[in-house]
């Protein structure tokens, strides 16, 4: 690894970790939303230095683009988010730590199991073969989890619409 590559890696890691910390520590919800952008970009940068261009583009499109904007939009539509007197944080810090710690634990288990296959410095990878294999696996071996995820997202969306629906307004619209 050359000095330049090391520098880029350190910069990317710093950017990702710092912006992730900012997301969870700033008091203003909108600021937290905006801090998501460098975080998602940092993750995309890791894909890019592994020369996984396809994953990088998807990260950009889905996370840095779509998810980011939808999160911000939801925040903007939340009542009283602009009011400085309304407290924007809740007291669920312990539960949040527990949830993310368990997630981290699962990831560590996966990484630990694959330890033998990992190299310290990833060499040149055949990005196209990896992308093809990824597509094949998603639609054959892992088609059930894949479809379940989409069903989960769909139900989340329906739930959001149901919760956000205001029956009174709808009635007025029908009459008018």
User: Binder to another protein among 46, 54, 142, 146 (CB under 8 A)?
Assistant: 54
| The residue count for the chain | 176
- Smaller CB distance to another protein: residue 20 or 60? 60
| 42 class by beta-carbon count within 10 Å (0-12 exposed, 13-18 middle, 19+ buried) | buried
User: Binder to another protein among 7, 11, 21, 66 (CB under 8 A)?
Assistant: 66
End-to-end CA distance of the chain: 68
CB 35 within 8 A of CB 22: yes
User: Is position 134 an interface residue for another protein (rule: CB under 8 A)?
Assistant: no
User: Binder to another protein among 18, 22, 58, 134 (CB under 8 A)?
Assistant: 58
User: Is position 30 an interface residue for another protein (rule: CB under 8 A)?
Assistant: yes
| Angstrom distances, CA of residue 91 to CA of 80, 87, 118, 165 | 18, 11, 39, 27
Question: How open is the CA angle 46-50-51, to the nearest 5 degrees?
Answer: 115
What tokens appear for 163 in the block? Answer: 């919760």
- Smaller CB distance to another protein: residue 16 or 52? 52
Q: What single string gives the DSSP state of each residue in 54-85?
A: HHHHHIIIIIIIIIHHHHHHHHHHSTTTT-TT
> Closest distance between another protein and the C-beta of residue 24, in Å?
18
> Closest distance between another protein and the C-beta of residue 62, in Å?
8
CB 27 within 8 A of CB 102: no
User: Is position 29 an interface residue for another protein (rule: CB under 8 A)?
Assistant: no
- Smaller CB distance to another protein: residue 61 or 93? 61
> Closest distance between another protein and the C-beta of residue 132, in Å?
12
User: Is position 31 an interface residue for another protein (rule: CB under 8 A)?
Assistant: yes
Residues that bind another protein (CB under 8 A): 4, 30-31, 34, 37, 53-54, 56-62, 64-66, 68-70, 72-73, 76-77, 128
């Amino acid at each position: 690894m050359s000095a330049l590559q090391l520098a880029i890696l350190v910069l990317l890691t710093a950017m990702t970790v710092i912006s992730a910390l900012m997301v969870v520590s700033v008091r203003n919800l909108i600021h937290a939303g905006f801090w998501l952008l460098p975080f998602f970009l940092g993750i995309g940068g890791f894909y890019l230095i592994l020369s996984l261009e396809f994953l990088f583009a998807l990260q950009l499109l889905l996370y840095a683009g779509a998810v980011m904007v939808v999160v911000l939009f939801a925040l903007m539509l939340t009542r009283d988010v602009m009011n400085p007197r309304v407290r924007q944080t809740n007291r669920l810090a312990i539960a949040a730590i527990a949830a993310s710690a368990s997630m981290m634990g699962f990831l560590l288990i996966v990484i630990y199991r694959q330890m033998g296959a990992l190299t310290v410095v990833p060499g040149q990878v055949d990005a196209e073969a990896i992308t093809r294999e990824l597509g094949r696996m998603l639609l054959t071996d892992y088609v059930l989890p894949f479809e379940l995820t989409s069903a989960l997202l769909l139900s989340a969306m329906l739930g959001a619409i149901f919760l956000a629906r205001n029956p009174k307004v709808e009635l007025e619209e029908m009459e008018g």
